[in-house]
Structure 1
Amino acid sequence: MENRCPVVLDTTGRDIHAEGARIRERGPVARVELPGGVEGWSVTGYEMAKQVLSDPRFVKDPQKWPAFAAGEIPSNWPLIGWLLMDNMTTNDGDDHMRLRKLIQRGFTTRQVEATRPLIENIVRDLLDRLADTPPGEVVDLKGRFATPLPARVICDMFGVPESARAAALRGAGVNVSTSITGDEAEANVEQWHRELYELAELKRRTPGEDLTSLLLAAREADGTHLSDEEMVGTLHLMLGAGSETLMNALSHAVLALLTQPDQRELLVRGKVSWDDVIEETLRVQAPVAQLPLRFATEDVTLGDVVVRRGDPVLMGFAAVGRDPEVHGASAGEFDAARADKTHLSFGHGVHFCLGAPLARLELKIALPALFERFPDLSLAVAPEELEPQGTFIMNGHKELPVRLGEPAPAGA
């Protein structure tokens, strides 16, 4: 009965976890209302999420959404950017595998490990700049460290020129916002598409030793390659996912250690590792709160509800990681010593995140380096004063105000 009255998703993302809990109270799959009065479903149960993520009856192709295919979804729908990208996340079956195989070449174990010196150099540079901060000054660690680190890494990997970086990353930031107007969303899609098309054209004329050039040159055995739209869509995906998600994971890991001294002490005493901190952060603070969109290709029974053919489905990853059926009564608490840190924050099944090893490597390099350089790092405001990011898609804060304390000598 409750599922007939959907939970209206808060476009400002004021309290991601309270909203996730409210949805879960109605069951592991429950009705929600998206902007524009569009009704769909959110999956918040761990086992149900695994089932949906591996079920071929739930597809990513927006043409399988009858309302979109029939032109009933306006071009200025606030989430329109998630429907217009042509890349491996909006394709299924053979097309998805073709695109994934081409892109995978840049994310092999060897390729990811080869980025270690790049990540280390960027971390060192950012920490050196922070060390120049006047004593006692409040610093936005998200703006000065958590955001520029993954942005610089992914832009370097894809050969984005300095002059084009702000525009490329701005488009990604706007795309994940749900508190903008539909007209702003539509304008962003057009502008971002144009800017990334120009980047692809630049790389086509002057290729380099970067992943954009590699993708432009890649050919399948039968001679097929990325079309212009697929190339732009792939840049949409990699620049956006490669920056927006990691900055939230990094910020949340820092916040957890600053607000829970006992957890930091476990690290110091060697009772937990940085890997433990990273995995627990990904579990309890999934960087993506509600991932759009999948579509049912037929009526599908999930537990005691029926998702009808064409219904849009969001994956409520922020709630999935806190499922009490998996993690018990303490599911919403950060505990790096927790034995079971099971999560789906990088997805599951054929659409599992290609960038997961790179994200983990960045976190494993950045976090210890930050706390070694600034051992007296502290939060400058009460945790409840932190402002949300302004979206129900992402799980993050606008800023992370800190006091750095006295920096340790570089390389100490």
Structure 2
Amino acid sequence: MPQERSAYVELGYSGDFGLSGLTEQLCSPDRLAVDLPAALAVAAGLADGSDGEEAVELGEDARRLLDGPLSEEVLHTVWLAAAGRIFSPAGHGMDTRTWLRAISDLATDRLRQNKRSYVPPPVQPVRDEDLCREVVAEIRGLAADLTGASALPDLVPGLEQVVTLADADVGFRLFLRALKAYSVRVSKERYDRFLRLGERLGYPVAVVREGLDVDWPPIDTTHRDTSWDFGLSQLAGNAHQDWRADMARREVHRVADADEPGQSPGTAAALLLEDALRLLHSPLSDDTITTLWVAVSDAALRIDGRDWLRLVADVCEERLREVAPAYTPVVQPARTELADTVLLEVRETALAVADKAVSPHWQPLPAVDAMAVLEQVVGRVDPDLGFRLFLRVLRLLSVRVRRGQYERYEAIGERFEYGEYHVNEIEQLVQ
């Protein structure tokens, strides 16, 4: 993050915070309007969060705006837009500077509950020239849409002044809040740029994504848009021996609902559904599929394999109906040209794990049986899915991997177009 300030994600934030977090709470769907006592109560509740830690960002944001050479007109316009007109200090006989000072004082009083001698430190505005230039460019790129939606003709120049004269961090977050408050649609390309700016500023992803109206492209499972594992192999990686039948649906939801920041809503469910359907409709026997799930999940939830896959498919279809009702599930053609390459790796490892077992201390499954079912997946179903599940079994068996092997795995991952950290998850096994 610019200027040696701690990244907000490192401070434990998972959502919006500070003044932009306050405007988000004020814009709650169950509020039509907010009076001054209610607005102060919302601010006090935010400051009390995390034992007062959020009061630090709330007070800091207010002081960064107060310390800048911003006019009352600019402060009022930007605040009004970010708060979606839900609360206007002017409507309660208070100018915006007085309102911001009240927020700063409230935050300071909360912090003094833990340390009576607390004095707010000097503000640390973000004024990196390149960053400011990029944020201003994004504001100008949406100037017409934002002005039209908000009916505030001075909003765009006001936001620019906040960014360039006060603080690029607060300015960018208040810009995002205004976009969300007035439901301004942004392209996927612009959204990706927002994510990169947020990453530079140390934001949690939710600060950008949550509530933003993005023109998402249709789900395409050939473009996974993830740096990590996905689909059934990711679900297997989340499994553990404490899984219970009454928790199974919830555990599948955790993967099906967990779209990556750059993925169209429902992509995670579509990828998992494709894996499940591929195996459900495969020529593998029921016993083979059951053994496969035991092998890749460390013996979690020993049930009939096809029944399990039907449950997985049901959860994924439920998620897709909710967030991507126009999506039609497809099973892409298998990448069979890589079958022999993957089979060689599976067979080489099978020779080295003859004395090992999956879940060795509880209903062990011999590693040779695990490798045999993986061979069937690679050769008869899909080398891509088979390779991903193979990587999972390597981790379960703690197989030592030579550097040359690992480099071959990386090459296979590149040909399957995996994300940069996918194969990297087994790097700790390299000798």
Fold shared per TM-score above 0.5? no
TM-score bracket relative to the smaller structure? under 0.3
Higher relative contact order (CA 8 A, sep 6+): 1
Higher helix fraction: Structure 1 or Structure 2?
2
TM-score when normalising by structure 2: 0.21
Indicate the structure with greater strand content: 1
Normalised to the residue count of structure 1, the TM-score between the two structures is 0.22
